[in-house]
Homo-oligomer: A and B are copies of this chain.
Amino acid sequence: MKIGVLGTGATGLTIGSKLVELGHDVMVGSRDEANPNAVAWAKDAHRNALYGTFMNAAEFGEIIFNCTLGSASLNALNLAGAGNLKGKILIDTSNPLDRSTDTWTLTVCNTDSLGEQIQRAFPDTKVVKTLNTVNANVMINPSKLIEKTVVFVSGNDIEAKATVVMILRDWFGWRNIIDLGNITTARSVEMYVLLWHSLRTAISSQRFNIKVVTA
């Protein structure tokens, strides 16, 4: 499958590499046509790995991953272009974080979320929020944790969510996937990220996740 990955930070390139490894054709997109990270990545990844602008990557992909920083996501998606995103699934892994101090805060929360903002800005795109609750390495290697943990999906389009569940399960190896509901539940997973940050500090590791335990 042809996949566009927006963002050339750790998340974008980690997901991009996994997708290339799975045999997909991947274009990572950034603000600049030849972002040094993206150029180096494409060289390393050998085959099926391309780079370009946000617009190039959005046009290229049948499915798009948003792996940009939350603070830059709406701008990046505008550069990608509504027409290039139209009718497509947009897998939104971003978090609306302000990391300017040690105490992280969110730039949107409680009565709205970045997932909802993106869905409102691109009504013809099927936004599915997922994977934002874990570090990039855990996203594509959930089985590296010592027990099976949980990942969430939030979105308005049932079929798009089913496709994303398939991707999470069959491509990335997730075994416990909970559908939280429509895109407003992006608030829940985005607001969880402050607890993730506190936990990371408390346990001095980014390689962790949560598991839901019932009675």
Contacts and interface: CB of A to CB of B under 8 A. Distances in A.
A202 B215 contact: no
A181 B207 contact: no
- Copies of this protein chain in the complex: 2
A180 interface: yes
A153 to B, nearest CB: 10
Interface string A39-56: 000000000000000000
A189 B195 CA distance: 6
A207 B181 CA distance: 20
A82 interface: no
B210 A198 contact: no
Contacts of A169: none
Interface of A: 103, 105-106, 109-111, 144-147, 149, 152, 178-181, 184-185, 187-189, 191-192, 194-195, 197-199, 201-203, 205, 207-215
